Structures are given as C-alpha cells and as structure tokens.
C-alpha cells in the first residue's frame, strides 16, 4: 500500500502558521515579482479569486471581506516543507518527497498493526501538532490510486481528510473512480483529457475499464501505465533516493529592467552562485555552463532580443569561482547594449558524480587547491542562518525580484524570529 500526504493550500497555510490573527481570513500568495495569484486560502476561493488572476486586477476589486496578500516567501515554504517531511518520517518507514507539499508514503504491512484510516488520522494530528499545517491523506495499492484517494479526501469533507482504497473493497474504489473526472487523474493533463473526452472517457472509472492495447496505440505507454495503476497493478515504485538531476537551472525575471552590463553581470554572478550551491547539494560536478538573457517578448515598443552562450570546461568542477568565471565569459559574448533586459539565467549540464578527471596539458585553469574545503565552509555558513557571498553579485542591486509584501523568514533568520510576549 502507498500513501500520499498533501498539505492543504500549502503556500497560503504557511503564511498563517505564525499569524494566528489571519486564521479563517481570505489570503492569497503572489508569484515572482508580485505578478499573479499562485495560492489561495479556502476563504479567498469563496471570494471568487482564481489561480493566475493578475495582482493589478485583484487589487482593483472590492470584496466583502478584507483580503490579505503576501509575496512568495520561498525560504519559509521550504523550511516548513522539511518539517512536514520530518514529521512523516517519524511515523512512516519510507517517504518520497514528490513536491514541496506532497509526499508519498510506504505503508506496507501497516494493516497488521492499525487500520489505514486510523493511521491517516494519526498522521494528520502529528503533523498539525508539530507544524500547525493540515494535511490530507490518501491511500491505495498504487501511487495513482493513492493520489486519487487524496483528491477525494479533499473533495468531500465527510472523509475528514483521510481516505483509504484497499484491495479488499473494490466496490468503494469503483465508486470513487466513477466520481473523479478524468482530468483530475495523476499524470493526465488537459490535452490528453480533451482527447479522452471525445472518445467518451470522462471519468477515472471509464479510463480504468479501457483496453490497455487501445490506450497504448492511441496515446502512449505512460497512459497505459496509468490505466494499469487504476486497476491496482503497481507500476511506479517508491523512490526513497531520487535520481540525480541531469540539469540545474537558476533564473529569475527582474523586478526592474536591466540596461547596463555591470547590473547584468551581478545578476548572472548571483544565479551562478546559487546554481553551484545546488550542484554541490546534488553531490555532482559539471563541465558545461550556459547563460541566457532576454528582453520582454510582450513589449510592443521595444525590439525583442534573446540569446544564449555556453562554456565547456576541460576539467569538471563544483567550485563557485569556476562557474562564475565561465558564466561571465559566456555573458560577454551575448551582451548587447541598448536593450532593456527582463530575464536572465544560468544552466549547468554534463554532470559527473566524481571530481576525478584526467588533467589536460593545455588547460589554463587547473583545479584550485583546497576547493572542496572552501566550498564546504561557504555552504556551512549559508546554511547556518548567516550569509556570505562572492563580491561579483553586488551588495544591494535594484533589479532583484520584487516582493513588496514579503513576510518574515520566521524559521531561517535569527533576526526575524517571532517574539512571544507574556502579560
């Protein structure tokens, strides 16, 4: 048996954890540069606010209740996600982080000790006691059925956030699948759902009853696997150790347009620094560094420009200094004056799990001495709540992502810890 734990309205719920005065109040979270709505509390949903609604339109509306708005606080969300993960690991032998707010659980052998519903309720109570976040729990003999059960546990309040689809009760599984629209099935996107609808397949049960050979012929092996999973045949195993990444990308849209080379170089240095930190987190080395820059494609009065350049190193590295230097060399080749740049990014490719490589006689940049020790110290400082960075990224750039309604980093910065006053 598999389980799926999903935090309800994750971003919006995180903003309420340290703000008890906002409980039961409509709240939304905005995307990068405060662009559009990407998370809503249930109270905000009742006001008619939709995902993707632009902020400039939302703020012009008049609502029956005061709407609370926050910029995306990714540091807070990642910290609380890790806490939820730790809580689940305390009670479950195997946990796979599927996304920042969803975790698959290994529930094999659980039925010999406790009922699935009782265990799901226990998980909810434990996570809420530790984090003040509410999760929904779905369980089933396959990952797809667990995901469907979790969807149903949120769709119908009568389940109290917990639903188990067991092999011993096929009628319950069939009933639930008959009520689930095909577009709500894990892995079925809107394009595939539209094609299925034209074939008369509108519910999860109808897809489960479809001929697998027909599905493979008209779609692909991935959808065939989904059909098998809906019928209780487990095709997707639990990945307790996720596979290594094949690419790392660090990019952002700018809060203000960049028009000077120095400002762009600072941005690229910052993105290269972050990409290098992610690379070390994956315990990987890279050889290929790319940089891209682009203006806004939506501006009718300015010429559009977009370009990318790459640097290939002779020796693999995970040293931030090497990656920054390569990124700046790539930037110099594609920079053009007289443009207002809206976005830039750094991409790392061609990974190796070992830093051991045959040195090249003609390499002008041999490996730096004590590189690994220095990078470990830098990462250790940055993970401790303090911060140290390379001078190339500047001190206080004006182009940084716009987050005018940012909440404090309650769990990751000493100076922003909440204070409790008694009396």
pLDDT digits (tens, 9 = 90+) for 388-406: 888 887 776 666 777 888 9
Q: Are 120 and 139 in contact (CB under 8 A)?
A: yes
Residue 363 has pLDDT above 70, yes or no: no
Per-residue pLDDT at 365:
66
| Residue 41: strand, helix, or coil | coil
Using CA atoms of 262, 267, 269, 272 in order, give the dihedral in degrees to the nearest 10. Answer: -150
Per-residue pLDDT at 11:
94
Determine the average pLDDT of the residues in 20-48: 91
Residue 22 has pLDDT above 90, yes or no: yes
Residue 139 has pLDDT above 80, yes or no: yes
Q: Are 342 and 295 in contact (CB under 8 A)?
A: yes
User: How many Å apart are CA 87 and CA 103, to the nearest integer?
Assistant: 11
Name the residue among 389, 268, 272, 374 with its Cα closest to residue 323. 272
Residues whose CB falls within 8 Å of the CB of residue 253, separated by 6 or more in sequence, listed in order? 32, 33, 342, 343, 401
- The residue behind tokens 């796979």 is 96
Predicted confidence band of residue 112 (pLDDT cuts 50, 70, 90): confident
Name the residue among 7, 8, 51 with its Cα closest to residue 28. 51
User: How many Å apart are CA 382 and CA 64, to the nearest integer?
Assistant: 44
pLDDT digits (tens, 9 = 90+) for 256-287: 889 999 999 999 999 999 999 999 988 899 99
Predicted confidence band of residue 239 (pLDDT cuts 50, 70, 90): confident
Determine the average pLDDT of the residues in 213-240: 87
Give the rounded percent of residues in the chain with a pLDDT score beyond 90.
55
Determine the average pLDDT of the residues in 137-166: 92
| Residue 309: strand, helix, or coil | strand
Residue 4 has pLDDT above 90, yes or no: yes
Residue 360 has pLDDT above 80, yes or no: no
User: How many Å apart are CA 267 and CA 304, to the nearest integer?
Assistant: 20
Which residues make beta-bridge pairs with 6? 102, 136
Return the minimum-mean-pLDDT range out of 164-173, 292-301, 328-337, 367-376. 367-376
**Mean pLDDT, the chain, whole residue set:** 88
Q: Are 38 and 71 in contact (CB under 8 A)?
A: no
User: How many Å apart are CA 64 and CA 47, to the nearest integer?
Assistant: 8
Return the minimum-mean-pLDDT range out of 164-168, 215-219, 346-350, 401-405. 401-405
Q: Spell out where 226-265 has E strands.
A: 248-258
Per-residue pLDDT at 379:
87
| Residue 384: strand, helix, or coil | coil
User: How many Å apart are CA 376 and CA 300, to the nearest integer?
Assistant: 47
Question: Residue 30 has which token pair?
Answer: 């905005």
Q: Are 320 and 378 in contact (CB under 8 A)?
A: yes
Residue 366 has pLDDT above 80, yes or no: no
Predicted confidence band of residue 133 (pLDDT cuts 50, 70, 90): very high
Q: Are 282 and 245 in contact (CB under 8 A)?
A: yes
User: How many Å apart are CA 335 and CA 343, to the nearest integer?
Assistant: 13
User: How many Å apart are CA 371 and CA 188, to the nearest integer?
Assistant: 45
Residue 345 has pLDDT above 90, yes or no: yes
């Amino acid at each position: 048996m598999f389980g799926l734990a999903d935090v309800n309205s994750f971003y919006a719920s995180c903003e309420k954890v340290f703000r008890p005065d906002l409980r039961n109040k409509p709240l939304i979270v905005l995307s990068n540069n405060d662009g559009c709505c990407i998370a809503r509390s249930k109270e905000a949903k009742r006001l008619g606010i939709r995902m993707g609604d632009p902020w400039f339109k939302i703020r012009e509306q008049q609502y029956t209740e005061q709407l609370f708005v926050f910029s995306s606080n990714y540091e807070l969300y990642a910290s609380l996600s890790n806490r939820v993960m730790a809580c689940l690991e305390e009670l479950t032998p195997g946990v796979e982080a599927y996304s920042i707010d969803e975790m698959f659980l290994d529930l094999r052998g659980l039925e010999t000790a406790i009922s699935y519903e009782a265990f799901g309720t226990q998980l909810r109570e434990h996570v809420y006691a530790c984090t003040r976040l509410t999760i929904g729990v779905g369980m089933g003999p396959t990952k797809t059925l667990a995901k469907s059960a979790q969807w149903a546990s949120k769709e119908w309040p009568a389940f109290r956030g917990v639903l188990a689809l067991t092999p011993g009760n096929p009628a319950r599984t069939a009933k639930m699948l008959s009520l689930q629209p095909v577009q709500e099935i894990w892995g079925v996107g809107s394009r595939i759902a539209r094609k299925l609808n034209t074939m008369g397949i509108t519910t999860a049960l109808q897809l489960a009853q479809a001929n697998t050979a027909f599905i493979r012929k008209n779609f692909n092996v991935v959808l065939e696997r989904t059909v098998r999973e809906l019928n209780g045949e487990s095709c997707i195993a639990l990945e307790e150790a996720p596979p290594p990444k094949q690419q790392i990308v660090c990019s952002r849209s700018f809060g203000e347009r960049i028009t000077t080379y120095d400002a762009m170089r600072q941005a690229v240095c910052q993105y290269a620094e972050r990409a290098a930190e992610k690379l070390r987190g994956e315990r990987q080395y890279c050889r290929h560094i790319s940089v891209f820059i682009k203006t806004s494609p939506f501006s009718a009065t300015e010429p559009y420009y977009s370009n990318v350049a790459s640097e290939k190193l002779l020796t693999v590295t995970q040293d931030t200094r090497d990656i920054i230097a390569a990124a700046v060399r790539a930037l110099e080749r594609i920079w053009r004056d007289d443009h207002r740049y809206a976005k830039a990014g750094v991409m790392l490719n061609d990974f190796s799990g070992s830093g051991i490589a045959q040195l090249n006689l003609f390499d002008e940049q041999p490996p730096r001495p004590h590189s690994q020790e220095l990078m470990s110290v830098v990462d250790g400082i940055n993970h401790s709540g303090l911060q140290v960075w390379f001078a190339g990224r500047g001190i206080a750039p004006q182009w940084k992502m716009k987050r005018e309604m940012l909440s404090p980093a309650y769990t990751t910065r000493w100076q922003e810890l909440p204070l409790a006053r008694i009396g």
